[in-house]
Amino acid sequence: MALLKVTDLQVYYGVIQAIKGISFEVNAGEVIALIGANGAGKTTILHAITGLVPVKSGSIEFEVPKTGMNDKDIVTETVNLRKTPAHKIVSLGMAHVPEGRRIFSQLTVLENLKMGAYTRNDKEEMEQTLKKVYKRFPRLEERKNQVAGTLSGGEQQMLAMGRALMSHPRIILMDEPSMGLSPILVEEIFDIIKEISKSGTTVLLVEQNAKKALSIANRAYVLETGNIVLEGDAKELMNDESVKKAYLGE
């Protein structure tokens, strides 16, 4: 059973159809990449999933553990995200790292991280998660009292990712995490994404750097003007001639 299942999704901006009936699945533990040129609809898909743009038709189904169940006997139920208010989606186990980071620039690093845990009531558990985030991003701990808007671009990206992890997500949606970063920082960010995946968090990745995205993904979907035109194993797509020509600069 897919953790996230999108079926026949259609999204309009006014009279313009941005997403034209696409369907795809994300299984638990996978890294799934959505690649495509600017304007292909990648960001719109993430915004539709997390309730930030209205959906004209189609379904977005998310598997969540049934409340009251213990870890030894996990039973899931399907939640229709189209009927779930955006502010409640985080508490279901989904986090979104938006394009452009969207950190709270006037707050400190620590205050930003605590905002990521606003749905969680257990303070002790939150402190444990904070320690894990600091272990993964040592620079955030070094700068925990620094105003977030004064961080470098790479540090702000790490903060956006750390803030998302504070909600203890089962799936994390990342939108262009490498945008505007130096090649060395791009390597570092993708290493972190691999670590997040290895720790058991499912990743849905939107990324213009197709080569890097395909190098860490299990499967990928290629988008063109609101349609999925190719899908399959990420390594196979990396060797696909049409993908090489259009997206890998070869």
Structure tokens, 44: 């719109």
pLDDT mean over 154-169: 90
Q: Is the pLDDT of residue 249 over 70?
A: no
Q: Span 1-93+209-250: which CATH code? A: 3.40.50.300
Closest CA to 159 of 196, 114, 92: 114
Which amino acid does the sequence have at 28?
A
Would you kindly state where each structural domain of the chain is located, as residue ranges? 1-93+209-250
Please report, for residues 25, 94, 147, 204, the alpha-carbon distance to residue 3 in angstroms, rounded to integers and kept in the order given.
8, 11, 36, 11
144 CB-contact burial (10 Å; exposed 0-12 / middle 13-18 / buried 19+): middle
pLDDT tens digits, 188-226: 889 989 999 998 999 999 988 899 999 999 999 999 999
pLDDT mean over 151-172: 90
pLDDT at 55: 95
pLDDT at 69: 45
> pLDDT above 90 covers what percent of the chain?
55
11 CB-contact burial (10 Å; exposed 0-12 / middle 13-18 / buried 19+): buried
Kindly indicate the confidence band of residue 51, based on its pLDDT and cuts at 50, 70 and 90: very high
Q: Is the pLDDT of residue 50 over 60?
A: yes
Q: Is the pLDDT of residue 41 over 90?
A: yes
Structure tokens, 164: 């998302």
pLDDT at 222: 94
Helix (H), strand (E) at residue 45: helix 42-49
Closest CA to 162 of 119, 122, 193, 185: 193
| Model confidence, pTM | 0.89
pLDDT mean over 18-28: 96
What is the three-state SS of the chain? CCCEEEEEEEEEECCEEEEEEEEEEECCCCEEEEEECCCCCHHHHHHHHCCCCCCCEEEEEEEEECCCCCHHHCCEEEEEHHHCCHHHHHHHCEEEECCCCCCCCCCEHHHHHHHHCCCCCCHHHHHHHHHHHHHHCHHHHHCCCCEHHHCCHHHHHHHHHHHHHCCCCCEEEEECCCCCCCHHHHHHHHHHHHHHHHCCCEEEEECCCHHHHHHHCCEEEEEECCEEEEEEEHHHHHCCHHHHHHHCCC
Decide if 206 contacts 44 (C-beta within 8 A): no
pLDDT tens digits, 117-157: 878 778 888 889 999 999 989 989 999 999 998 988 888 98
